[in-house]
Amino acid sequence: MDAAKLGVDPEQVHRILKDVAERAARVLAEFAQKHVANSVTAAVSDELGIARAYMGLYARLLGNPYLLASATANLMLDYARLVQASWLRLMGMPVTPVVEPAQNDSRFKDEDWNSNFLFDFVKQSYLITARHIQHTVGSVEGLPAEAQKKVAFFTRQYVDALAPSNFVLTNPQVLRETVATGGQNLLRGLANLLADIEKGEGQLRVSMTDESAFELGRNVATTPGKVVYQTDLMQLLQYAPATSEVLRRPLVIIPPWINKYYILDLRPQNSFIRWAVEQGHTVFVLSWVNPDARLAQKGFDEYLREGPLAALEAVERATGEREVNFIGYCLGGTLLGCTLAYLAAHKERRAASATFFASLLDFSAPGELGVFIDEAQVEALERRMKERGYLEGSEMATTFNLLRANDLIWSFVINNYLLGKDPFPFDLLFWNSDATRMPARMHSFYLRNMYLGNRLAVPGGIELLGTPIDLGRVTVPAYFISTVEDHIAPWKTTYRGARLLGGPVRFVLGGSGHIAGIVNPPSARKYHHWTNDALPESPDEWFAGAMQHPGSWWPDWQRWVEHHGGGERVPARTPGDRGLAVLEDAPGSYAKLRLGPRRPVS
């Protein structure tokens, strides 16, 4: 049967094949030229320590034949139950599934996974196998804690990769699309795959959104403001007022430099920055530079000096106020804690209140991120950073994506490569793909002193600008907002950090995760948040005594900051109307700099 009878346009097929052939030749040539030697070296050195961890696992499994036999017997028993239930269903009898996917598992949402006998069998067979594999490796005793974490994490990656939804013949949606288009979806998918390898300059960089659909200052990061000050490391943005009077004390936001600040200013309806302006805050935000090799020697000291400390002086010139209300988000919150401890050591009261968005001060239990941070991996990372002068942002982004591989990797593999569709324009994923680099010296200090040594939690454990840092000397009223599903800053660990401070602390727990739980405007009416006026020693004890409230935590924070940070109002301030001149419009040139992987420094 020819292509026309199948409803397939031969010319379109020819164009796709031609494009695929040209891309494939170019990508393979570049890959062979640039990456084969590096790949072999990385494989031999086992920088992640995966091989060592699994060798230990196999040794202990072989040394415990009872565990292996028991696991095999239980797996066969569940398979037998599945076969029996499937035969009964085939004969028209009602049966209860042997196993069902989790409620939040979007891989099996297509109706055919339940209604079609064959796909239901494939789905349940996979879920049974996945459950038993993970249970077996989790039951092995005697492995070092770090090895156990690696085995559990990478076993999950392996199991997720083998899901039937990731293959053409075992995904009903993909199979229907393949039949309907005569396979053109797979050809388009191959073209998309090669385009993503090209975009990653030889490494696969899965497209999550249509990046051409967004432009900073046009449809994201649109809150009116100006750049009023800058250093080598940051531009200081001041936002135009939306009210005739504003709170006397300015609000200074320190975002993480792992990503760009405009996660807090995506669209008008979910912009925390715009909402804060509308509440009467004079909002200043640090927009961090996207560094190259020229900033390789900028360390944590420089991020403190050229970041929040420089911002304090600039804000005073712009408003006349010495005291501010601070916010730090994620790594920006870690830097905020250091800033407050530095100021306390020098007996300078420059902050009226401090708010920590999903921020770690204690790194004793960093969650699954710890899988990627041990002495061997940090040494290997330092070698790579020494060659380039920085950590490539795409490498950090890949690590974060692996923490939620089904949502942030495999769903796009299915959409882009199997269904052959273009990714949907989504502002949050546009921001997520806008990765930033980190200077080698700073990142090495951060990994070694925070994650490996947990020295920030020890009074005087680190020194910044020649000053011992002691969080216990921070007496500024503090507000901690963490989120219950956070996979980057686990809330029970952020709770430990909150108890390190020496002043009054309000701890609040939001719904959802690291981003959605923070960027949760009241108008969305989503999720819940929990509050507890006490701060007992245990996070579980705190949660047991907490009260649940519907919707966003933003109004609770606004009441708190007006109480602790000062509710006095003064005439509104316009950027550039006092001691600082306007340099350019927000979002500023630092935020607009978008770098691809391994792009040479000009």
Active site residues: 330
Q: Which residues neighbour 243 within 8 Å (Cβ) at sequence distance 6 or greater? A: 277, 278, 280, 572
Token duo for residue 102: 């989790």
d(CA 214, CA 386): 34
Among 580, 577, 569, which Cα is nearest to 244's? 569
Token duo for residue 351: 């902050």
Task: Give the SS3 label for residue 551.
Answer: coil
Q: Could you tell me which residues are beta bridge partners of residue 326?
A: 252, 354
Q: Which residues neighbour 1 within 8 Å (Cβ) at sequence distance 6 or greater? A: none
Nearest-5° Cα angle at 452, 370 to 57: 45
Q: DSSP assignment of 418-434, as one string? A: IS-PPPPP-HHHHHHH-
d(CA 430, CA 358): 21
Token duo for residue 574: 């316009």
Nearest-5° Cα angle at 591, 409 to 287: 110
- Interhelix angle 117-139/145-161, rounded to 10 degrees, is 170
Token duo for residue 212: 């051409």
User: What strands, in cross-sheet order, belong to the sheet with 251-254?
Assistant: 547-550, 528-532, 505-510, 478-483, 351-357, 324-329, 251-254, 283-288, 234-239, 225-230, 584-585
Q: Could you tell me which residues are beta bridge partners of residue 324?
A: 351
3-state SS, 457-498, equals: HCCCCCEECCEECCHHHCCCCEEEEEECCCCCCCHHHHHHHH
Q: Which residues neighbour 83 within 8 Å (Cβ) at sequence distance 6 or greater? A: none
d(CA 492, CA 485): 11
Token duo for residue 356: 């920590």
- 8 A C-beta contact, residue 127 and residue 190: no
Task: Give the SS3 label for residue 355.
Answer: strand
